[in-house]
Each structure stands twice: as structure tokens, then as C-alpha cells.
Amino acid sequence: MDPLVRPEVEDYARYSTTPESDLLLEVTKQTQALGQRAGMLTGRLEGRLLNFLVRLISPQQVLEVGCFTGYSALSMAEALPEGGRLYTCEISREHADIAQGNFDRSPYGGRIELCLGPALDTIASLQGPFGFVFIDADKANYPAYYEAVLPKLSEGGLIAFDNVLWSGRVLDDKDDTEDTKAIRALNKQLVRDKRIECVMVTVRDGLTLVRRKPAADRKTP
């Protein structure tokens, strides 16, 4: 992922944010050993933001699409209220095994259920409602994930989409790759959808927060 913010500014923001737990620091080191794939790690700045949002919303159920090595799931599980549950979707057996090992070492791991397989199938099988949804998976399916999770989002619930700036490639008219086109399509769709309100935040690679409007405030999109 190419940096959108100067590295020294990113570092300053990260070290001006409450540190993560020792276990999450271990997960970071473990993930960095995977090489280039480590760029998918959520990291302290965004991980603490997810933790902060879950703590504010206090949802009974959270859904994550894209688990990787478990850093973001553990960040959110820390903040769940008593009896809260987090479902995380992962299609890679390798990543799922790494993540489950990290969950097993965490005092919050019992709050997490790892669902192996295509995320759209998993979403269809879950009842909801979800007070918070974090989507950080294959970009080509972002629009499909949105339509799948929105009906299962609680009144006033939030969805967070990661990588919505896609290292700035959303601004490159010459980039017509499937992933870039899907992110552009999602960004346009969200801002026009009368069912929701959204704000794009320039944290790391871009994070769009989507709030489902109460039924009385919705209009046909």
C-alpha cells in the first residue's frame, strides 16, 4: 500500500494514539513475518479507531468481513459489552488458522466466532442484527457486501469500509482494474443512497463510515 500521508506524519499519529495490548503487538510482529501480505494489517491507528467505535456503540453483535491474522477482530472484541459476539469471515485456511491461534491466546477470544468460507455465504447464514460491521476483504465484492449486510444492520448501526481511497488509485482515470472500479462504484453508490448517511475519513488508506438511517427518515434510494 503506497502511503497517502507522509510517513513521519503517519508515525506521529500512530504514537499519539493509545497503544494496543501486548498480544496485539505480538500479532503485528507475527504478521510482519508474512512479508508483502503484512500490508493488509490493520495496525494501531485504525485498530484503536475500531475499538473506540465499538466501545461507543456498544453493539451486541459485530460482523467482520475479512479476518486476516485477527488483529482487527481482537481490537473490536476488546470493546464488546458483556455477552457481545463478533463473527469474522475469512476465506483463506492459512489466515484463518493463524487468526484462530491468536484468538485462543486472548482473554477476548471466546467472544469471537471465525467463519471459514465465502463471506457472502456466511452473511446469508447469519441472522443479525449487527450494530457494527467492518469490511476489509476482496475489493471487487465491496458493492455486493454492502447490499448483503445493510438489511442486517441494526437501526442506527454502522458499517466501516476500509481501503476506500485505494492508495489514491480511485483518482487515476487510467486504472480500470476490477478492484479499483468496484471501490469507485461503492463510493458513488454510498453518497447517493438515501437509506444511509456516510462520511469518508482519510485514516490510513481511507475509511468510510456508513450509518443506517432510522426507518422514519429513509426515502427510496
H helical segments located in 150-217: 178-192
pLDDT for the residue numbered 146 = 98
Each residue's pLDDT, cut to its tens digit, for the chain (221 residues) gives 556 778 899 899 999 999 999 999 999 999 999 999 998 899 999 999 999 999 999 999 999 999 999 999 999 999 999 999 999 999 999 999 999 999 999 999 999 999 999 999 999 999 989 999 999 999 999 999 999 999 999 988 999 999 999 999 999 999 999 999 999 999 999 999 999 999 999 998 999 999 998 877 765 54
User: What one-letter code names the amino acid at 199?
Assistant: V
Domain ranges within the chain, ordered by starting residue: 7-212
C-alpha cell, 28 = 503485528
Instruction: Kindly tell me the sign of the dihedral angle through the C-alpha atoms of 20, 24, 26, 30.
Output: negative
- Our measurement of the distance from residue 64's CA atom to the centroid of its chain's CA atoms, rounded to an integer in Å, reads 6
Reduce the DSSP state of residue 198 to 3 states and report it. strand
pLDDT for the residue numbered 6 = 84
pLDDT for the residue numbered 126 = 97
Give Cα separations from 62 to 73, 87, 89, 96, 204 (angstroms).
9, 6, 11, 18, 22
Task: Print burial letters for 45-71: b (CB count within 10 Å at least 16), e (below 16).
Answer: bbbbbbbebbeebebebbbbbbbbbbb
Phi, psi angles (nearest 5°) of residue 151: -65, -20
Q: Identify the architecture of domain 7-212 in CATH.
A: 3-Layer(aba) Sandwich (3.40)
Q: What is the pTM of this model?
A: 0.94
